[in-house]
Structure 1
Amino acid sequence: MSKGRIALVAALLAGLLPVLAPAPGRAEPLFDAQGYRMTQYRAPVPDTAPGARSIGIAEVQALAGQGALLLDVMGLRNYQLAPDGRFLTPEHRDSLPGAVWLPVVGWGRLEPWQQDYLDRNLARLTGGDKARQIVVFCKVDCWVSWNTLKRLHGAGYSRLYWFPGGADAWGDAGLPLQRVTPEPAAPGTRP
């Protein structure tokens, strides 16, 4: 490309930047029209989550003993998907013993593959039983778990529990944590 064309493209792009960039002082809204938290996921959370009962460590232990699904939804942003659906990431996660990690289901807006990932894994993990007890958590002050509970409640899951302290509270209480890996996406998934 000639120097003249490069200068022309640069000038055009510079003229578009004010249109493409957010206006000064206008941040993305915290919540979308459906009520999902869209940004600042690590911030103080309310005492309750949609359709769920908030619980502490003793109740998590009791529910785990009854066979409840322990669903860790701590977000994962630095990853690639292998052709077989495995998450390839330098990040690691220590979680509650027996927990299943679904790391891309709590964002405010899910891409179609992320929604499919959530739906497919929940159907498999619950055997299609929407009345199965599900304990959802991530870490302290984590809106990702709140968003996930809102999504599960909207999908008809009826026995939902929120452990807002998550793996942080569990570990702080001196309870053992276990290394988990993300449940794989469907083979061939392309984010």
Structure 2
Amino acid sequence: MTQVASQLEARPFSAEDKDWGVAPQDIIRKGSYHAPTPVTLPGAKVVATHALAQSLQGNSKPVLINVLTGSWVNALPGSVWLSGAGQGAGFDDPTQARMAKRLDELTGGDKTKPVVFYCLSSECWLSYNAALRAQRLGYANVGWYRGGVDSWKAAGLPVERIDRDQW
């Protein structure tokens, strides 16, 4: 991946920057997860493909979290799969409690460690919701890879299959 990532142009892939005019929100979206998303997520950094690929080459790599649902997923190499982490009813539901426990394990309790959430594409609310959850838990360096797996693949970057979620 290193050679390909270093050759990426700073350009969007697979509608990762498309603006559908959807307003950002600070509450969990319930249902209708496959729909256009906002271009921003207040308090989080929206990460483009080229920037994420470069950050994965450095020493302080972010924790990558795939939140798609299913019996298996295509994932960015080195990802953790937390199926359903972007679903739920709100910030006081069982998913939030599970997220708190798992993020604590993944970051070693360091709430300043970068975490980046992603799902399929810029038309997927699951990663937006999961990023909101992390912010609510006090994580300071939350990233949202809006383009997701579709943008990663469109850039010619490798994906790997994960057959078991890591909740």
TM class by shorter chain equals 0.7 to 0.9
Q: Give the greater-gyration-radius structure (CA).
A: 1
C-alpha distance in 1, partners of 2:95/2:143? Answer: 22
- Displacement of 1:174 after TM fit? 1.4
Of 28, 43, 46, 1:51 maps to: 43
Opposite residue 53 of structure 2, the aligned amino acid is: Q
Aligned residues: 138
Give 2:156's aligned residue.
174
C-alpha distance in 2, partners of 1:94/1:39? Answer: 22
Runs of 4+ in structure 1 deviating by more than 6 angstroms, as ranges, are none
Q: Does 1:109 align with 2:89?
A: yes
| Cα distance per residue 1:102-147 (max 9 Å; x no partner) | 0121114168543332111101100000000111100111111111
Q: TM-score, normalised by structure 2?
A: 0.76
Give 2:77's aligned residue.
97
Opposite residue 160 of structure 1, the aligned amino acid is: V
Percent identity, aligned pairs only, is 34
Unmatched tracts of structure 2, length 5 or more? 1-25
C-alpha distance in 2, partners of 1:55/1:75? Answer: 21
Q: TM-score, normalised by structure 1?
A: 0.67
Give 1:64's aligned residue.
56
Give 1:8's aligned residue.
none
2:42 counterpart SS class: coil
Opposite residue 166 of structure 2, the aligned amino acid is: E
2:56 counterpart SS class: helix
Give 1:75's aligned residue.
69
- Displacement of 1:183 after TM fit? 0.3
Q: Decide which structure has greater helix share.
A: 1
